[in-house]
Amino acid sequence: MIIALSGLAGSGKDPEPNASDKKRFWEGVVKRGPSDCWLWARSTRNGYGRIHLGGRAGKSVSCHRLSFRLAHGYWPKKMVLHSTQCVSKLCCNPIHLREGTHTENMEDRDHAGATARGDRLAKKLSSKIVRDIRKQYASGAASHRQLGKKYGVSHTMIGFIVRGDWW
């Protein structure tokens, strides 16, 4: 699916990311395999990752646009679209992102359902919950299965979380 980013097309006013912005950005992205979705695990707005660039005088930008900027060396002039294999709008894997057109976006809006499911999962597992899960598992207080039941996700997902594969 290709995802709408109305109003987020390049304004030409985006600040250039400095070294500390880049570091903070990549610290917030959970990288998996080269072709997997790399999900942003920090603040979001309207389902998209947001990060503040350039200190106090800077401004906040969406994370997948920043990922595009870092990969290609320029701010995209158009909307940045996610690939059809993305599980969430939080994905920041540069190879899943490309510049697209408004028309493409409208044509593919029907496919947004799968993305919404990925977002619900991401929301369900906020970073605080992930920390709690890891703490409980590390203390030996609960098994994968018990934690899965408690937080309403599969025990496989709990396995991902405690190993740090996902979040």
Q: Which residues bind Zn ion (CB under 5 A)?
A: 37, 86, 91, 93, 96
Return the number of the residue (32 or 50) whose C-beta is nearest Zn ion: 32
Helix, strand, coil share of the chain (percent; to 5): 45, 15, 40
Return the number of the residue (93 or 136) whose C-beta is nearest Zn ion: 93
Neighbour tally for 92: CB within 10 Å: 32
Token pair in block for residue 70: 């870092």
Quick one: which of 54, 66, 56 has its CA closest to 91?
Answer: 66
Minimum distance, C-beta of residue 24 to Zn ion, in the bound complex (Å):
20
Residues paired with 30 in a beta bridge: 39
What is the enclosing helix (H) or strand (E) of 99? Answer: strand 97-100
What does the alpha-carbon distance between residue 114 and residue 57 come to, in Å, rounded to a whole number? 37
Minimum distance, C-beta of residue 5 to Zn ion, in the bound complex (Å):
14
Minimum distance, C-beta of residue 57 to Zn ion, in the bound complex (Å):
32
Q: What are the φ and ψ backbone dihedral angles of 9, each rounded to 5 degrees? A: -65, 160
Return the number of the residue (64 or 144) whose C-beta is nearest Zn ion: 64
Return the number of the residue (95 or 141) whose C-beta is nearest Zn ion: 95
Contact 158, 137 (CB under 8 A): yes
Return the number of the residue (115 or 136) whose C-beta is nearest Zn ion: 115
Minimum distance, C-beta of residue 85 to Zn ion, in the bound complex (Å):
6
Angle 67-130-43 from CA coordinates, rounded to 5°: 40
Minimum distance, C-beta of residue 38 to Zn ion, in the bound complex (Å):
7
